[in-house]
Structure 1
Amino acid sequence: MNKTSLPAALALLVLSGSPALAAQGLDGAALGLAWAVPFAGLLLSIAILPLVAERFWHHHRGKVAAFWALLTILPIALAGGASSAASAVVHAAFAEYIPFIVLLLTLFTVAGGIVIRGNLRGAPLTNTVLLAIGAGLASFIGTTGAAMIMIRPVIRANDDRKHNVHVIVFFIFLVANAGGALTPLGDPPLFLGFLRGVDFFWPTVHLFWPAVVIVTVLLAVFFLLDNYIYAREGHLARDPTPERPVSVTGGVNFLLIPAVIAAILLSAAVDWGTVNIYGTEVATASLARDAALVAVVVASLLLTPRANRAENSFSWEPMREVAELFAGIFITIIPVLAMLKAGASGAFAPLVALVQGPDGAPDNLAYFWITGGLSSFLDNAPTYLVFFELAGGDPQYLMREGAGTLAAISAGAVFMGANTYIGNAPNFMVYAIARDRGIKMPGFFGYMLWSGAILLPLFVLVSWLFFVG
């Protein structure tokens, strides 16, 4: 970007609406659509740059995120003063970003210490069971954690197969996405909902049957497809992976998972007052929860043999990437959330109209498909947050009278993140590991042919069963 373009962009943002700050934050009704440009720009950067400029993105993604974040912060500071900008950033950090990153770090670290050794034969029934186990784990250790634990055993089990791309594709569908629908631990969108006040077990109750339908149908379709391919291909006379009995090490990390759940549940159940941090009221219980999760990270690192993480090819790089990008996301989304809170009085009035019926009632089918469609190409966590606010942002109302709407938003964000490689963070991680192990994975649009043929008809069925009417 040249020297004049940044000031010009800042001037455009400031002139497009006055960012008046009330006690609760920006006055969204006074903001123009230009204030959403940094958020859209960052999400499009995340979606496109890794595919068209991979080397540049790998070395400069933090600078890209910082650029879009500055394009949000500086106009607020210019129009409302440095204290206004600092207050907005502190609120985003302590209300959402820090708890979000701490949970991801905890699950990532715990999962990285668990090693599954040995070699299974990748017959259709074995593969189906492995996918089912991975999907089951996802709601307890996160889709990223479950994917990182299970992907290597699945690849080893199928390294004597002539055709194994479909195994990895269904792995992404099930383990990296659909399996994480039942708790806030499972997928980042649901944890953001928890931070906004949604009960821990709300997804367990309200997404249980949609998840059962999707996981069951996918496992059945996979079993039939794998049977067909297995019968036609035959397999190698000699498995390239040496025979070893199956074993699991790093079991102390399984004992740490209940500690994670207990810390999260306790933080929602107790009231220890609040601490004011530069104008943001932060619950003391939330700070205690985050401290407990950091303690779990330290315990996992100290109690797990280093050889376990080396065997898992464990690296902090994925966590660094997530931390950098979400720092930018949670800053650039500040004015977007303010505009959404303004509802029909704000710049997003046309979007409000799309998800409402003629009588003003929420259209749950539209919420499901629009949230899901955007989650397919943008990251599903901020997409969930956008539509959560669009639906009113009141967790007590959304959990009760608006339960159908919240279920539609949650299902769209979690399930349709599987539509592309960039819809959910574990998708691309699984793709990269499979490619590194010599599996000829389909490209971006090739993968979309798989998801379009298999997932879209399934989502139509889920729409009809749960979100019509």
Structure 2
Amino acid sequence: MPNRSALTAAAVAILCLVSFFGADPARAAETAHVDGAELSLLWTLPLVGLLLSIAILPLAAPRLWHHHYGKIAAGWALALMLPFALVQGVGPAAAELTHAALAEYIPFVALLFALFTISGGVLVTGNLKGSPGVNTALLGIGTLLASVIGTTGASMVLIRPLLRANDQRKRNAHVVVFFIFLVSNIGGSLTPLGDPPLFLGFLKGVDFFWTTTHLGKETAVLAAILLPLFYLVDRFFWSKEGFIPPSDPTPDSRVGLKGLQNLPLLAGVVGAILMSGLWNPGVAFAVLGTEVTLQAIVRDVALLGLAMVSLAITPAGLRERNGFDWEPIREVAKLFAAIFATLIPALLILKAGADGAAAPLVGLVSRPDGTPHEAAYFWLTGILSSVLDNAPTYLVFFNLAGGDAAELMGPLAGTLAAISGGAVFMGAMTYIGNAPNFMVLAIARNRGVAMPSFFGYMAWSWLILGPCFALLTLLFFL
């Protein structure tokens, strides 16, 4: 089960903050938000330290990282929040941390937890031989499925069957790398269900099918390049195998589907997300300066409830056969809690725009005549998404482009497409660009796949995806 003590501690901490500041009007007044224009780039050093720890320690000190990654992540979060509270004041620091938790982290984790838990109860039985043709077909199916049940749902449903299909092969890490490219990221570009940044855009007023019509061509171009390229790469490694070992750990057998009772629950996740964007009762609660709407509370409670129902109605043996365990979501929850916390100064600096320490960077997204530079929006959103998490980065550039959904879907449609594409597509550039990346990595490593290191993966992504994104720029964002 998930780390209940950690979840309880987090809930108690938030409740204590609420009671401490909310009970006294004088204290509540102290919870004004921090002005990003006053922050130095030095405040981003804990974030840099955390990212370097994620990149280096699993390779340099695997035992230390495996047993203590939560403590290491928490250490970097405290390295920011303690001095941040001393310099900025406890009230403003608590307000920023509360905003990150209630407006970003909790909805983010609730959605991932629901999709991870429910999809973990769907078992694809049987096995296929992981030939280049079969693998390419599985990646194609996953790419299509990602915009229907989310990149997390599609990744969790298909990664285990894909690993079983290739467990007799000596060289199979590249299969997982392309899986992350296509299923865990690019395939989720067509609906708000697909990827967290688009979900946030939907909550901001972007039409549900807007990305379907405005990112469809870009997604099709990437799929048309990457699927045939994968087939050629896989065929090359297949030829290097020499022979297929006769002792296949999971011999070929007829493919089937069990855990069908979870499919309505996945539909319930879709319904909960749609409800939160379409239903607005006008009820909201202020918590340390952060507005929490009733529909957001109902959505998150519904997501957690659906996950609990899945646990109750799915036989434990089915999950065991699926190789299901809690470590991937536990790792994501702990690491992204620290990422969201250490992200606070970086996002505040970016939100300050031309008045902040990142003014030279922000200035790159506007042409001399003041019109948006779509290629710059695409690349800056994408590169920052690959290291800062794509959901909050999307919001920063969404607001930087004006923040008006109607205008961004109309006269500035090209700008919104560039922001959306950068956030979703380039989440594939690193293991930390999108939460499903980390889940897939953890599952693959637990199954014995020799996955590339953090920088080794980046070598793959820049070599393969870099030219693809350059082509997209030439075709759509100039």
The answer on 1:154 being equivalent to 2:162 is yes
C-alpha distance 48-155 of structure 1, shift in aligned 2 (>3 A): same
Distance across 2 between alignment mates of 1:200 and 1:69 = 35
Is the contact made by 2:100 and 2:340 (CA closer than 8 Å) also made in structure 1? yes
**Gaps (5+ residues) in structure 1?**
1-20
1:271 alignment partner in structure 2: 280
Residue among 178, 181, 194 paired with 2:186:
178
Query: 1:229 offset after TM fit, Å?
Result: 5.5
1:49 alignment partner in structure 2: 57
State how 1:184-223 maps to structure 2 within 5 Å.
184-223=192-231
Is the contact made by 1:76 and 1:84 (CA closer than 8 Å) also made in structure 2? no
Identity of aligned residues (%): 59
Residue among 305, 310, 316 paired with 2:320:
310
C-alpha distance 38-197 of structure 1, shift in aligned 2 (>3 A): farther
Bigger Cα displacement from structure 2, 337-346 vs 39-48: 39-48
Distance across 2 between alignment mates of 1:73 and 1:439 = 37
Query: 1:364 offset after TM fit, Å?
Result: 1.5
Distance across 1 between alignment mates of 2:363 and 2:316 = 54
State how 1:243-254 maps to structure 2 within 5 Å.
243-254=252-263
Query: 1:116 offset after TM fit, Å?
Result: 0.6
State how 1:394-409 maps to structure 2 within 5 Å.
394-409=404-419
Residues 238-260 of structure 1: CA deviation (Å, up to 9, x unaligned): 46233422111111111111111
Distance across 1 between alignment mates of 2:141 and 2:187 = 9
2:145 alignment partner in structure 1: 137
Residues 322-367 of structure 1: CA deviation (Å, up to 9, x unaligned): 2222223333333333332321122211111222222232222122
Residue among 246, 258, 269 paired with 2:267:
258
Residue among 25, 36, 40 paired with 1:28:
36
TM-score normalised by length of structure 1: 0.85
C-alpha distance 39-386 of structure 1, shift in aligned 2 (>3 A): farther
Query: 1:282 offset after TM fit, Å?
Result: 1.5
Equivalent position SS for 2:372? coil
The answer on 1:282 being equivalent to 2:286 is no
TM-score normalised by length of structure 2: 0.83
Is the contact made by 1:337 and 1:389 (CA closer than 8 Å) also made in structure 2? no
**Gaps (5+ residues) in structure 2?**
1-28
Query: 1:390 offset after TM fit, Å?
Result: 4.0
Residues 204-230 of structure 1: CA deviation (Å, up to 9, x unaligned): 332222111111221122234445665
Residues 365-421 of structure 1: CA deviation (Å, up to 9, x unaligned): 122223323444454344434434444445444343333223222222222232344
Residue among 364, 372, 381 paired with 1:362:
372
Distance across 2 between alignment mates of 1:394 and 1:28 = 21
C-alpha distance 166-319 of structure 1, shift in aligned 2 (>3 A): closer
Distance across 2 between alignment mates of 1:301 and 1:248 = 18
C-alpha distance 271-156 of structure 1, shift in aligned 2 (>3 A): closer
Residue among 220, 226, 242 paired with 2:251:
242
Is the contact made by 1:419 and 1:452 (CA closer than 8 Å) also made in structure 2? yes
2:128 alignment partner in structure 1: 120
Is the contact made by 2:32 and 2:95 (CA closer than 8 Å) also made in structure 1? no
Is the contact made by 1:47 and 1:378 (CA closer than 8 Å) also made in structure 2? no
Query: 1:275 offset after TM fit, Å?
Result: 2.0
Distance across 1 between alignment mates of 2:331 and 2:241 = 39
Query: 1:112 offset after TM fit, Å?
Result: 0.8
Distance across 2 between alignment mates of 1:357 and 1:225 = 40
Distance across 2 between alignment mates of 1:168 and 1:191 = 25
Distance across 1 between alignment mates of 2:153 and 2:90 = 39
Residue among 418, 425, 429 paired with 1:419:
429
C-alpha distance 92-195 of structure 1, shift in aligned 2 (>3 A): farther
2:311 alignment partner in structure 1: 301
Query: 1:237 offset after TM fit, Å?
Result: 7.6
1:18 alignment partner in structure 2: none
C-alpha distance 26-448 of structure 1, shift in aligned 2 (>3 A): closer
Query: 1:83 offset after TM fit, Å?
Result: 3.1
Query: 1:232 offset after TM fit, Å?
Result: 7.4
1:17 alignment partner in structure 2: none
C-alpha distance 394-22 of structure 1, shift in aligned 2 (>3 A): farther
C-alpha distance 162-401 of structure 1, shift in aligned 2 (>3 A): same
State how 1:438-449 maps to structure 2 within 5 Å.
438-449=448-459
Bigger Cα displacement from structure 2, 104-113 vs 448-457: 448-457
C-alpha distance 301-433 of structure 1, shift in aligned 2 (>3 A): closer
The answer on 1:332 being equivalent to 2:365 is no
Is the contact made by 1:417 and 1:423 (CA closer than 8 Å) also made in structure 2? yes
The answer on 1:59 being equivalent to 2:67 is yes
Bigger Cα displacement from structure 2, 92-101 vs 65-74: 65-74
Equivalent position SS for 1:26? coil
Distance across 1 between alignment mates of 2:141 and 2:279 = 33
Is the contact made by 1:100 and 1:191 (CA closer than 8 Å) also made in structure 2? no
Distance across 2 between alignment mates of 1:290 and 1:393 = 24
Equivalent position SS for 1:118? strand
Distance across 2 between alignment mates of 1:160 and 1:41 = 38
2:362 alignment partner in structure 1: 352
State how 1:97-116 maps to structure 2 within 5 Å.
97-116=105-124
> Quick one: which amino acid aligns to residue 36 of structure 2?
G
Is the contact made by 1:108 and 1:145 (CA closer than 8 Å) also made in structure 2? yes
Equivalent position SS for 2:306? helix
